[in-house]
Amino acid sequence: MGGNGGLIKAMPNTPGEHLQFHAVIHGWVQGVGFRDFTRRSALLLSLVGWVRNLPDGTVEVDAEGERKALDRLSDLLRQGFPSASVSEVVVEWREKDGGLEGFEIR
């Protein structure tokens, strides 16, 4: 099922570093439980942020936390939820702004 395509704007990897990323997931990702999958995965990884559907059929994610946990979430987004079909994940790394709490579905 999920694909592994995607564009990543790289940032240096410093152990224990806290960062934020913004991701847009393309494919068959709406109406299949993908947002709930993303939220549960992020909470298990102790990340904060949000996930939402966009009008163009993609899913958007903003997440903050340790680089290692964000890398794992990025991998999970590429693998996708079993009922989804991910064709591409575009990730943009950012410095953490600290403005996020919990992990919500918007």
Per-residue pLDDT of the chain (106 residues; tens, 9 = 90+): 444 454 444 445 555 678 899 999 999 999 999 999 999 999 999 999 999 999 999 999 999 999 999 999 999 999 988 899 999 999 999 887 777 789 999 9
Helix axes 67-79, 34-44, angle to 10 degrees: 150
For the chain, domain boundaries: 1-11+24-60+68-87
The torsion defined by the Cα of 77, 81, 83 and 89, in degrees rounded to 10, comes to 0
Cβ pair 80, 2 in contact under 8 A: yes
CATH class of 1-11+24-60+68-87: alpha beta
In the set 40, 52, 53, 72, the catalytic residue is 53
Task: With H, G, I as helix, E, B as strand and everything else as coil, classify residue 64.
Answer: strand
Catalytic residue, chosen from 35, 39, 67, 78, is 35
Name the nearest CA neighbour of 27 among 52, 72, 55, 57.
Answer: 57
- Indicate if 53 belongs to the active site: yes
pLDDT of residue 10: 47
Is 67 a catalytic site residue? no
* pLDDT given for residue 13 in this prediction: 52
- pLDDT value at position 15? 56
Instruction: Give the chain's end-to-end CA distance (angstroms, integer).
Output: 25
